[in-house]
């Protein structure tokens, strides 16, 4: 059994406005500061001249102009313009399949079903580190 005796953690912490978010790379911290705190909008829409803080926001905005819906639900086949809309849609499928929000793995094993909160608490107790 290998025992870990040393940890190397390099975090880049945001010190703006008591934000205290941390990132594993300088690039991610810089992007966070630019988007969240400085609200720098560098990405311009060629259709309507609006600016956006990220390339992803611009890309999804352009879909409004083009009518494209590139994100497809793997369950029912519906298409969505934004990935966030697809994520919300998929939650509806999950709720229909499992309306109480119980852990399906526990139920499949024949043990008492657990809520997500109970499962997280159990995992923290098992792996406190």
Q: 75-127: per-residue pLDDT in tens?
A: 999 999 988 899 888 888 887 776 665 444 544 445 555 566 666 666 666 66
Q: 40-76: per-residue pLDDT in tens?
A: 888 999 999 899 888 888 999 999 999 999 999 999 9
Q: Taking the domains of the chain in order of start, what are their residue ranges?
A: 7-40, 41-97, 101-129
CATH architecture of 41-97: 2-Layer Sandwich (3.30)
Of 9 and 38, the one with more pLDDT = 38
Q: 14-23: per-residue pLDDT in tens?
A: 888 888 888 8
* CATH 3.30.160, domain 7-40, yes or no: yes
Q: Fold match between 7-40 and 41-97?
A: yes
Place of tokens 């956006």: 52
Segments in the chain forming alpha helices (H): 26-32, 55-66, 83-97, 104-108, 116-126
pTM of the model: 0.48
């Amino acid at each position: 059994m290998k025992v870990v005796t040393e940890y190397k953690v390099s975090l880049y912490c945001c010190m703006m406005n008591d934000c205290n978010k941390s990132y594993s790379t300088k690039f991610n911290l810089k992007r966070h500061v630019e988007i969240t705190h400085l609200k720098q909008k560098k990405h311009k829409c060629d259709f309507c001249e609006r600016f956006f803080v990220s390339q992803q926001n611009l890309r999804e905005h352009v879909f409004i102009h083009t009518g494209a819906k590139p994100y497809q639900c793997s369950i029912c086949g519906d298409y969505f313009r934004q990935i966030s809309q697809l994520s919300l849609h998929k939650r509806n499928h999950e709720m229909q399949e499992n309306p109480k929000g119980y852990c399906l793995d526990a139920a499949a094993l024949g043990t008492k079903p657990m809520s997500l909160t109970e499962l997280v608490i159990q995992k923290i107790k098992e792996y406190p580190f």
